[in-house]
Chain A
Amino acid sequence: MDHTTLLRSMNYATRRSFMTAAAKACLGVSVLAMPSIVRAADEQVAAAAKGAGKAKSVIYLYMAGGMSHIDTWDPKPGTEGAGEFDPIKTSAPGVMIGEHLPLMAKQMDQCALIRSLNSKVGEHQRANYMMHTSYLPLGTARHPGLGPWVLRLAGRTNANLPGSVIVGRGGLGSGSGFLGTEYEPLLIGKAQDGLANINRPGMITEEQFEQRMSLLDKLDADFRKTYQTRGVQGYNEFYAEARRMMHSTDVEAFNLAKEDDATREKYGSDPFGQGCLLARRLVQHGVRFVEVALGGWDTHADNFDRVEELCNKLDKGMAALIADLRERGLLESTLVVLTSEFGRTPRINADRNNGRDHHPKAFSGILAGGGVKGGQVWGKSDKAGNQVDSDGVSIPDFNSTIAYALGVDHEKKLKAKDGRPFTLGNEGKPLVKLF
C-alpha cells in the first residue's frame, strides 16, 4: 500500500499522527511542513471523486521553444508544408508519426496523442507561462505552475524530498506563484550533477556539523523569536527541509550513479535523457511532479536539421522512460506528459534555410500512463496542420486533464494576494474520455 492510499483509508487525526510519527521515526527531526501536507492530503481525498485519480505522480516533458508538430506528431504528407520527413507506422494501429521518432513509434500503444491543442498566444514568454499556469501573465498576480498547484492540492507523499522538481531550465510559469515558497519546485540544473551542495563541507564531520547547527540556532534564536514573519519562517522551514534531505537516504534518488550503465545508456547520455531517468527515480521516491525540459525547438532557421537532432534526444529519453515505467509497474500511477508552448507553421521559410515560425493555432501533445488509455488519438488538425479541425483542446483543457488524472480538483479556487480567485484549470474541461 503506498502512502496516499494508506492516507485515504484513515481519518484526519489518525493520518496526522501517522505522518508525524512516520516522519519522526525516519528522520529524528521535527517536521515543520507537516500540517500543510496533511491538509493537502485531506483535500485530495475530497477531490478524488472528481477525477480518475489513478495517477500519483506526473513527469512533465517540456519542449521549450515551440515544437514543430508537423515534423513530429502530426505529419502532413503530400501537403506543401509537409517538410523533409516521412511519416512512419507506430504500435498504435493507424497512427503515423515523424520518422525521427522510431523508438516512440513502438510506445504509441501506451500513449494518447492529442493533435488539436491550440491557443492564441504566439509569443514564447506568454505562451510558456500559460502552458504552465493555464493563465496569461498578469502584472497583479503571479500564478502558480502545475507542479506547485498539484503539490498544494494533492500534498506530498515523501516529507524527505521536495514534492516538485524541475530538471533543466524550467518554464517561466513553473514557480510557486501566490501559493508561497512552501511549494516552490527544487531546481536541478543538470541531471548528471545531482543535487548541488547536498553533502556537508568535506572537512567537517557529522558531529562537527551538528555542533555548528546548534551554534547557529543559539546565535539566531533571538532574531527568530522576535521576527516571525512569513519570510523568516520560510527560511526556518527550508533549512529544516534541507537538513532532512541531507540526512535522508531518499536523497539517493538524485544520484544517477546508482543506476547501471545499460539503463543510463538506454535513456540517452544527454541531459534530457538523463533527466528522464532522474524523473523516474524521483517518482519512485514519491516526488509528485517532475518537469524535464528540452530546449532548442525555436527553429526559425534550419528547422529540419535541428528538429532531427532534437527528436533523437526526445525519442530516446521519452521512449525509455515509458518502457521503463511500464516494466516496473509504475506507468499506471505515473502520468507522462509531453508538451510545448506552441507548434510551428506549415509554411517553410526557404530564405532562412527552411525554418518554421511560431504557430499556436494547432499543435500536439501526449499523455501516457496514469490511467490514460493508450493507442488513441484525440482531435484533428486540418489538412495542412494549420488549424484545428475537430475536438479542439485548449491549454486550460489540457491542464485540467492532468489534474483529472491525479484526482485533483481543477476547479478548486485559491486566492492570490490581491484577493482574486484562480483555479488550476482556468475553466478548462478535462478530457475524461481519454481514461
Chain B
Amino acid sequence: MKRSRTVSLMLAVAVGIGGLLHLQRGTVADVASNRPVQASGPAVFAAAARIDQLVARQYEKTGVSAGRLTTDSEFLKRTFLSIVGRIPTYEEARAFLDSQDKDKRSKLIDSLLESPGYVSNFYNFWADLLRAKSRIRGDNGNFYGHWIKDSLAANKPYDKMVQELLTATGRADDNGAAGYYLRDADNPLDTVSTTAQIFLGTHIGCAQCHDSKYDDWTRLDYYKFAALTREVVTRENQYGKELQKLRAEAKKQNLSSEARTVLQQLIRNNSYGVSDRSGKKLQLPKDYQYDNGKPGQAVQAKPLFGSLPSPDMGETPRQQYARWVTDKSNPMFAKVIANRLWKHATGMGIVEPVDDFSDSNRPLNPELLDFLAAEMVRGGFDMKLFLKKVYNSRTYQLAAASEDIVRSEYKMQTGMLQRMRAEQVWDSLVAIAVEDVDTRKSVASAAAGKLGGYQAKVGEYLEAKQPEKVIELAKQIAQERSNRKPGADKGAKPQEKTGKSDGAKQPGKAGDRKPDPDPASRKAARATATMVRDIEELKNFNPEEKRQVAQQLLAADFRDMTPLQKQAMIQKVVAEREAAKAGVAADGKKKAQGARGQGVGLLARASELPSPAPEGHFLSEFGQGDRETVNDHSTEASVTQALNLMNGKVSQLLMLPSGRLVANLRAAPDNKARVDVLYLSILSRYPSQAERSIALQEMAQNGLRGHTNLIWALVNTREFLFSK
C-alpha cells in the first residue's frame, strides 16, 4: 500500500543522513547567514511522513491513487525555483543529477534553504504580500526592503517578524519595519484591511463602507478592529519642529538647485516616523449609516474574534493588539502562514484563495491544514524548518499533472505544473548569463546604503537642534554628486556631448563650486574620469553609464589586472550592461534613468532591482506584482512576452561571448558535451536521445549559428517557462 511505503521511504532517508553535500560552487561558501547548514533530522522526516499520511487518507476515502514521483531533474528544477527562485546553474544541475547519494534530495533542500538565494527569492514573496515598494515616503521604502531581507537572512521566526511589523515605531532608517505603517500613511485604513487579509486570512475590506453581504462583518466590526491601531501616527516624528526650522532656514539661503533638491529629499526622508499618540480616538465616519452607531462617535476597540489578552504593564494598545494577532491561540495566525507556504511550495493552497478563510470556504484537507498549523506553532514559527517538512514530503515531490487540476476533484494526488513567476524567469536568465548570480548587488541597493548613512547623520543633527548642519550636508552631497559627473571634472573628455564639460561656465552654479574638502574623493573622481576616457568599448555610453562602469571596474581592482584580464573584464561589464538594458523596453528605458529606475542598469536578481521594476521592464511584462495590491503578480501569457523572448535582447544576452553559458560551451570538449551544457543550463536536465541527435545535427549543419539557434530555441520552449 502506498501509505506504508511512503513512511518507510521517509525512515530510510532519515537514517541515511550523513555528511553535507555542497552542491553549489563559490557562492554557497559566502552565505549571508553564517550559520552552518542544518541537516534535516528525524523530526523533519516524521512530520513529512505525517503530511503524506494525512494526504493518503483522502485518497483512500475517495478511491483516488497517487501519481508518480518527480524524476530527479523535475525535482531539481522545481526545488531550485521554490527555494532560491531560479533554475540551477549548469554546475549545480550536473552535480545533483550525477550524484549517486540516495539522500541527495533532502540534502539539496537543506543546502538551498541556507543559501543566499533563499533570501532573494522569499524577499519577492514578502514584497508581494506586504506591498513593499522601494519608494515609500521618499526613499524610506528601501529600508523596509532591507528589513525584509535581514529578517529572512536571520530566519527570524514568523510570529516575531509580524510582531515587529505591527508594533514598529521610529523612523524607517532606524527600524525598517516602520515601513509597514508608512506604506499607507495617506490611508491608514488600508493597513487595517490588509493586516486582516495578510495575517488573518480574513477579508474585511468590504465592511469599510457597508455591512458585508458575503461574510458576517459589519461596518461597526470594521471600525472596532481599526480602533486597535487608533493611536498610530505616521506623518510626524520627534524632529517635527526642527524640520520646520530647517525649511525656514533653507528658504533664506541661496542654494544651488542641486543642493536644494538634495535638501528636499533629506527633509522628505526624515519627515516620517511611526509613533503612538496616547489617547487618540477613532471616530465613525460621517456617512455612517446604521442604527448601532452615530457618525462621529468614538469607536471602542475590539478584535475581529476572540478577545484581547490582558494588557501588560506600560503596554500600548498597539502592542496588546499585536500580541492578539500573533498569539499561538489565535486560530487563524498559524493556519494562514502555513497555508501560504504550502501554496508556495506546491502551487495550490489547502484553502484558496489563501486570504479567504471564511466558514463557507472549505479546505481541501482540513486535517492536513490543522497539522501544518500545529507544526508551525511547534517549530516556533521557524519558516525554514516548516518548509523542510513540506519539501521532504512525498506529496511535495509528486510529479506534475499533465492536465489542469480541477480543484473540486483534487486530493493532492499529483503535483502542479507552474509557470515560473516573473522574478523566477528573470533570475533564471540572469543565472544562465552571469557568475555569482545570488550575491551580486545592484547600484540601487548600494545607493540605498549610502542614503542610510546620511539619514542617520541628519537624525543626529536634528537631535542636536542644528538645522544649519543639515543644509551644509546637503551642499556637500550636491557637491560630491557634481564632482562625480565626468563632465564636471577638468580632466574629462572635452568632446562629451552633455555640453557641460566645464562646470565653471555654467551660470548660477559657479558660486556653489568650492574646492572639494576631501582630496581622496577628488583623486578618485579624477581616476574615474581618466579610466572612462581610455576605454574604447565605452565610447557609445552616456556619461552617467560611463561613470557607473568605471566605478564597477575600480571596485574589481581593475588597475592591477593584466591587459588580457582587463580586456575580458571590460567585455564582461559592457555585455552585462547591454543585456541589462535589454530588460528595459522602449518605455522603461527613459524611466530607468529616473529615481524609480535607479540601478536597473545592472544585471542582477529581481530582489536587487527597484521594487517594483519600472513599467516596460522584462519583469513587469512577465507579470511581476505591482506592489500596490496584496499579491498582485500574474503568471499569465501575453503577446508581449512571446515577442520579447523571440525578438528581444534577453535571449541574445545568453549568447554573449563573455557570458557564462558561452564560457561553459567553450570549455566543453565536443559537441555532445555542448548539447549537455545547453540542456543542463537552460532546461535543467540532460537531453533525450532524440533531442540530442536533433541538436547535434543542428550544430553540424549550422556551426556556430547552430549553437545560437539552439539557445534561442530552448529559451523559447514552454518547458523553459514552466516547472513540472
Q: List A residues at the B interface (Cβ < 8 Å).
A: 120, 123, 125, 136-140, 162, 169, 172, 175-176, 180-181, 184, 186-187, 189-190, 193-201, 208, 211-212, 215-216, 218-220, 222-224, 226-232, 234-239, 241-242, 245-246
Contacts and interface: CB of A to CB of B under 8 A. Distances in A.
B371 interface: no
B203 interface: yes
B648 interface: yes
Nearest to B698: A215
Given A140-B353, A189-B587, A223 B718 contact: yes
A231 B417 contact: yes
B647 interface: yes
Given A125-B629, A172-B628, A215-B709, A198 B718 contact: no
B342 to A, nearest CB: 18
Contacts of B621: 187
B718 A236 contact: yes
Interface in B694-724: 694-695, 698, 705, 709-710, 712-714, 716-719, 721-722, 724
Nearest to A193: B586
B713 A219 contact: yes
B628 A212 contact: no
A245 B639 contact: yes
Contacts of B636: 176, 180-181, 184, 231, 234
19 contacts: A120-B209, A139-B203, A189-B616, A197-B640, A200-B646, A200-B647, A215-B694, A223-B717, A227-B417, A227-B718, A229-B403, A229-B417, A231-B637, A236-B718, A237-B637, A238-B638, A241-B639, A242-B643, A246-B647
A215 B587 contact: no
The 7 closest A-B pairs by CB, nearest first: A189-B587, A193-B586, A234-B637, A242-B642, A197-B643, A220-B717, A216-B713
Contact of B629 (A172, A201, A218): A172
B404 A238 contact: no
Contact of A231 (B616, B635, B646, B688): B635
B187 interface: yes
Given A215-B694, A218-B694, A223-B719, A186 B638 contact: yes
B213 to A, nearest CB: 11
Interface of B: 187, 190, 197, 203, 205-206, 209, 287, 353, 355-356, 400-404, 417-419, 585-588, 590, 615-616, 621, 626, 628-630, 634-644, 646-648, 652, 688, 691, 694-695, 698, 705, 709-710, 712-714, 716-719, 721-722, 724
A218 B687 CA distance: 13
B78 to A, nearest CB: 14
Contact of B404 (A139, A193, A229, A235): A229
A162 B639 contact: yes
A230 to B, nearest CB: 5
Contacts of A223: 717-719, 722
A137 B629 CA distance: 10
B723 to A, nearest CB: 11
A189 B615 contact: yes
A115 B718 CA distance: 50
Contacts of A169: 615
Contacts of B646: 197, 200, 239, 242
A190 B652 CA distance: 24
B639 A227 contact: no
Contact of A190 (B403, B586, B635): B586
Q: Point out which of B417, B630, B635, B724 has the most chain A C-beta atoms below 10 A from its C-beta.
A: B417
Given A193-B587, A235-B721, A246-B643, 12 more contacts: A137-B629, A139-B355, A189-B585, A216-B717, A219-B695, A219-B717, A220-B717, A223-B719, A229-B401, A231-B419, A234-B636, A236-B718
B685 to A, nearest CB: 11
B694 A139 contact: no
Contacts of A137: 205, 629
Contacts of B628: 125, 172
A123 B187 CA distance: 8
Nearest to A271: B587
B615, B616, B639, B724 — which one has the most chain A CB atoms within 10 A of its CB? B639
A215 B629 CA distance: 40
A238 B646 CA distance: 12
A212 B706 CA distance: 9
B202 to A, nearest CB: 10
Contacts of A162: 639
A250 to B, nearest CB: 13
Given A139-B355, A215-B698, A223-B718, A196 B629 contact: no
Contacts of B698: 215
A239 B635 contact: no
Contacts of A201: 647, 652
A138 to B, nearest CB: 8
B586 A196 contact: yes
A238 B640 CA distance: 9
A216 B643 CA distance: 14
Nearest to A218: B694
Contacts of B355: 139
A242 B417 contact: no
A428 B268 CA distance: 44
Nearest to A220: B717
A196 B644 contact: yes
A187 to B, nearest CB: 6
Contacts of A228: 402-403
A236 to B, nearest CB: 7
Contacts of B588: 189
Contact of A187 (B203, B640, B724): B640
Nearest to B635: A231
Nearest to A241: B639
B478 to A, nearest CB: 24
Nearest to B637: A234
Contacts of A181: 636-638
Contacts of A230: 404
A226 B436 CA distance: 35
B206 A196 contact: no
A413 to B, nearest CB: 17
Given A212-B713, A231-B417, A136 B719 contact: no
Contacts of A218: 694
A231 B722 contact: yes
Contacts of A232: 417, 718, 722
Contact of A197 (B400, B644, B709, B712): B644
Given A139-B197, A229-B404, A219 B694 contact: yes
Contacts of B626: 172
A19 to B, nearest CB: 20
Given A189-B588, A211-B709, A227-B402, A220 B719 contact: yes
A126 to B, nearest CB: 9
A238 B645 CA distance: 12
A136 B193 CA distance: 14
A190 B591 CA distance: 11
A231 B418 CA distance: 8
Contacts of A219: 691, 694-695, 713-714, 717
B643 A198 contact: yes
A194 B587 CA distance: 10
A105 B355 CA distance: 49
Nearest to A180: B636
B409 to A, nearest CB: 15
